[in-house]
Amino acid sequence: MLNERGSVWLIDCGEATQHQILHTSLKPRRIEKIFITHLHGDHIFGLPGLLGSRSFQGGSEPLTVYGPAGIRAFIETALKTSNTHLQYPLFIEEINEGTVFEDDHIIVTSSKLDHGIYSLGYRFAEKAKPGELLVEKLRKDNILPGPIYKQIKQGQMVTLPDGRIIDPGLYVSDPQPGKIITILGDTRQCEKAVRLAENADVLVHEATFNAENEKMAHDYFHSTTKQAAETAVRAGAKKLCLTHISSRYTQEDERQLLKEAADIFQPVLIAHDFLEVPID
């Protein structure tokens, strides 16, 4: 949904983020916005380094960081202490629940989840795209190409030279629904997560523990594979991506973790470095 902008949006910035980016086609200078879910170290410790590297690599376009209260102090202290001077405008917005950003193409909303510290989930909802011009139908009705096509595409009533009044709704297809991506911070199961993920094309949900460690997940303010899948079902999501898997689980455990979620919701996959998830 960011192709038209020619930009990259990043959610959270753990340690070594900038080093991993070096192994991709992404360019730090293309990062336009960074959304921080919460202030635990594994979600923010890579941020000062990335901000500095973006400057060293010639990034000059403005960058905005969104996050809970405290993110400004963290960034400004790290940059000041390390004597890092950015060569681009940096904006830091400390946010709560509600609309975080909106323009003609997308609206970003956030909600507070259920974690040990203030943790946000984000819903990135692309606005509906205008329908396509039904060119064949126009030609069949002897409406010839020209500036008139643009007027019809823009929804304007048009009067033809022969006196016919054209209703644009007859020659434009229905609007195309926008895509929705929901990315949650660390959280227990909660109603706000379900609402954020409603009808999402992709739901990215933490699954720190396996299904049998539900009590531990609750005690540590996290979710299990099963709980993530239950949230996807309740939200009517179309695809589930599990993240934040505890390091206690090995690659050999991955098949079982995936099965626990897949028994409840499909399609589901477990995130790994450099994974690309297509949105149908």
**What does pTM read for this prediction?**
0.89
Residue 276 pLDDT > 80: yes
pLDDT, tens digit, 9 for 90 and up, residues 92-150: 999 999 999 999 999 999 999 999 999 999 999 999 988 889 999 999 999 988 888 98
Q: Concatenated DSSP letters for 137-187?
A: HHHHTT--SSHHHHHHHTT--EE-TTSPEE-GGGSBPPPBPPPEEEEE-S-
Domain ranges of the chain: 1-95, 135-169, 176-280
Tell me the sheet residues that pair with 121.
111, 184
Count Cβ atoms below 10 Å from residue 30 Cβ, excluding itself: 16
Question: Which whole number is the average pLDDT over 236-249?
Answer: 97
End-to-end CA distance of the chain: 12
Segment holding 16, helix H or strand E: none
Query: Do the domains spanning 1-95 and 176-280 agree at the CATH topology level?
Result: yes
Residues recognised as catalytic: 42
**CATH code matching the domain that covers 176-280, chosen among 1.10.10.1100, 3.90.1170.40, 3.60.15.10, 3.40.50.720:** 3.60.15.10
Q: Is the peptide bond before 267 cis (omega within 30 degrees of 0)?
A: yes
pLDDT, tens digit, 9 for 90 and up, residues 174-188: 888 999 999 999 999
Q: How far apart are CA 230 and CA 92, in angstroms?
A: 35
Secondary-structure class of domain 1-95 per CATH:
alpha beta
Average pLDDT of the residues of the chain:
95
Question: Which whole number is the average pLDDT over 221-238?
Answer: 98
The tokens 């202490």 sit on which residue?
81
Count Cβ atoms below 10 Å from residue 227 Cβ, excluding itself: 26
3-state helix, strand, coil in the chain (%, to 5): 30, 25, 45
Q: How far apart are CA 36 and CA 11, in angstroms?
A: 6
Instruction: Report residue 6's pLDDT band, with 50, 70 and 90 as the boundaries.
Output: confident
Residue 230 pLDDT > 90: yes
Least confident piece of the model among 28-37, 74-83, 131-140, 227-236: 131-140
